[in-house]
Structure 1
């Protein structure tokens, strides 16, 4: 039978299961680990193209505007597990992360 290139439609997509949160997929890529003040952090850069939402930088309190390259950081050594650490990630201006929190 020939393969169809038509969309399967909304009803067919509604039956497909929603994928679970894949921590490995979300943390893959350019992620690196850094140690600051005795705590281990996962740090992952976000490119201009990937930055589509505004966030508040915890370092300076100003907005990280959409289209601005920045970093996402979260604890790597949290006691509640990877999913909880990933849920508490924060978006930092690159400069603010370099100079550290106030």
Structure 2
């Protein structure tokens, strides 16, 4: 029987944390802090979120950005837990 070269999932890993860190992301300095900004494509957007910039819904299927502090003093896991989903336009003008 041929061997599988696929990586087996490790149940000890936090998949949501790994998934967010794995995508294309950038850092931005804004409002006196450094932020990690990760774009979410329309295909990846499967839930409804509330944008903190305009307080309107971001419906499923809408491309947007996820933002969290890159310089959080409590570490990456705590900063990622406080992440927020923004309309791309709201983040740019905010």
TM-score w.r.t. the length of structure 2 is 0.84
Match of 1:80 in 2: 74
TM-score (norm 1): 0.77
1:99 maps onto 2:90 in alignment: no
Q: Structure 2: 5+ residue runs without aligned partners?
A: 3-8
Once residues 10 and 25 of structure 2 are traced to their aligned partners in structure 1, the CA distance between those partners, rounded to angstroms, is 28
Q: Determine helix, strand or coil for the equivalent of 2:80.
A: helix
| Among 13, 36, 39, the residue aligned to 1:20 | 13
Note the C-alpha offset of 1:29: 2.4
Match of 1:61 in 2: 55
Partner of 1:46: 40
The alpha-carbon deviation at position 24 of structure 1 amounts to 5.2
Q: Please, which runs of 5 or more residues in structure 1 have no aligned partner?
A: 4-15
- Partner of 1:95, secondary structure, is helix
For residues 18 and 82 of structure 2, the distance between their equivalents in structure 1, rounded to whole angstroms, comes to: 16
The residue that corresponds to 1:9 in the other structure is: none
Moved more, 47-56 or 28-37: 28-37
Task: Give 1:40 deviation, angstroms.
Answer: 0.2
Count residues with an aligned counterpart.
88
In structure 2, the CA distance between the partners of 1:25 and 1:53, relative to structure 1 (3 Å rule), is: closer
Pick the structure with greater CA Rg: 1
